[in-house]
Chains A and B, each alone.
Chain A
Amino acid sequence: MINRFNKYRYASPATFYHFAGRLIPWFYGAAALFCVAGLYIGLFLAPTDFQQSEAYRIIFIHVPAAWMSMFIYVVMACWAALGLAFNTRMSFMMASALAPTGAMLTFVSLWTGALWGKPTWGAWWVWDARLTSELILFFLYLGFMALQSAIDDPRRADRAGALIALVGVVNVPIIYFSVRWWNTLHQGASVSMTKAPSMASIMLVGMLVMALAAWMYTIAAALSRARCIILERERNAQWVAQMLEADA
């Protein structure tokens, strides 16, 4: 039984490379499907909000991006912890592969938030607790990527990045609550993020479908990037040479 099922099978970059290659089209396909369905629900089926009129429709991009940006950081930290604990190269590669997508989605959520804020709040940016902590999350992603790109030795880059990701994930709740308290103590809430008391269920469905689309896209993008990282790291390995010959 143990011989037939090896749980470390996909920890080998060569096996993972082909496995990921087979999965990627499925995840991109699912992402496209969910995206089309979600946008249809969001743009055509969902009713116009009586307070915010059409401007609210940006939540179908904004909220899934914000959810995923936070979720990806935690997943990244989990891969980092796995890598440090078991010393598996693939875990570190997955952590580095997730970071750019996470940073991109953080940026998207900040950008769409600004686009929504201008017509609704009358300001591109307010120092609201959620906006501020999302901005800090963006800085954490940038720090992780900057540290990894500054180190030439891949082994050290992997482990240093993993450590800073873990330090970051311990700090995220502290930062979040400190920013929240700072906001409530400094200034009365000049703008409230709370929307209409009960969100129409069709809006919620649209948001959830779009969140699934973002999730599938993230997996596909991270796997594609992990494949690139594998090729870059293993360029001197025999299996890469054989594969390139077979392709050529």
Chain B
Amino acid sequence: MSTSQTVIVLLRRELLLAMRRRGDVLTVLFFFVIVASLFPLGVGPDPKLLRLMGGGVVWVSALLAAMLSLGRMFASDHADGTLEQLVLTPTPPVVWITGKILAHWLVSGVPLILVAPVLGVQFGLSGEALGVLVFSLLLGTPVLSLIGAIGAALTLGLRGGGVLVSLLVLPLYIPVLIFGAGAVDGAMSGLGAEAHLSLLGGILILAFMLTPWAVSAALRISIE
């Protein structure tokens, strides 16, 4: 099989599995909505304050939701031996790892992007800011899946892996949060969002080039 075929087969398999276990996908999505809805209850319903916070709150919720979904990335494949079979295939690990990360983003990142405008409206974001929010999530959530994959691979099969993964991954998510929320802020305040979005795009390219290698090394450490 050529590498592109491998990726396509892998993507189909992952999406099929996600379709069969729709609950997992929906749980992450509802978690995202609930966390974002908790903030107004915590800080009060003042529309001005909420409009200021909106972008940041949606982004923090997206970070937490992405982190929550990391456990699924390799764990079930590790448990039933699929991961070892994948390691044994002649396809370079970086290729199928990229495929798995892409699948993870499609299943747990894209739904967040689709729901985010609704949350943005709840926080009273303007039309332009909503567009920027969606675009920043489009650029940022793949980075969350990419960096998160390193944490997921390193904590494979460890006790307390879920909490541990948050300690490892959340500090590394900070630049994405800053530029993602900053883009929305820039659009709201009229400063413009281009600078933040460009930086976010740069981070995405860098993460896309480097993280599959790190994940491949991490999986080798965890499986051997």
Contact = CB atoms under 8 A, between A and B. Distances in A.
Interface string A159-195: 1100110111011001100110110011000000000
Is the contact region of chain B dominated by helix, strand, or loop, or is it mixed? helix
Is the contact region of chain A dominated by helix, strand, or loop, or is it mixed? helix
Nearest to A151: B158
Contact of A136 (B160, B171, B214, B224): B171
Given A163-B154, A167-B150, A140 B171 contact: yes
B172 interface: yes
B214 A167 contact: yes
B164 A178 contact: no
Contacts of B138: none
B171 A159 contact: no
A185 B221 contact: no
A29 B172 CA distance: 38
B34 interface: no
A160 B171 contact: no
Interface centre among A139, A150, A166 (most CB of B within 10 A): A150
B154 to A, nearest CB: 5
A117 interface: no
A166 B214 CA distance: 9
A186 B188 CA distance: 12
Contacts of A100: none
Interface residues of B, number: 30
B167 A139 contact: yes
B164 A185 contact: no
A146 interface: yes
Contacts of B210: 170
A179 B178 contact: yes
B158 A182 contact: no
A162 to B, nearest CB: 9
Contacts of A170: 210
Contacts of B159: 150
Given A163-B218, A178-B178, A182-B178, A139 B171 contact: yes
A160 B191 CA distance: 42
24 contacts: A136-B174, A143-B171, A146-B167, A147-B154, A147-B167, A150-B159, A150-B160, A150-B164, A151-B158, A156-B221, A160-B222, A163-B150, A163-B214, A163-B218, A166-B214, A167-B214, A170-B210, A174-B175, A178-B174, A178-B179, A185-B185, A185-B186, A186-B182, A186-B185
Interface of A: 84, 136, 139-140, 142-143, 146-147, 150-151, 156, 159-160, 163-164, 166-168, 170-171, 174-175, 178-179, 181-182, 185-186
Interface of B: 150, 154-155, 158-161, 164, 167-168, 170-172, 174-175, 178-179, 182, 185-186, 191, 199, 203, 210, 214, 217-218, 221-222, 224
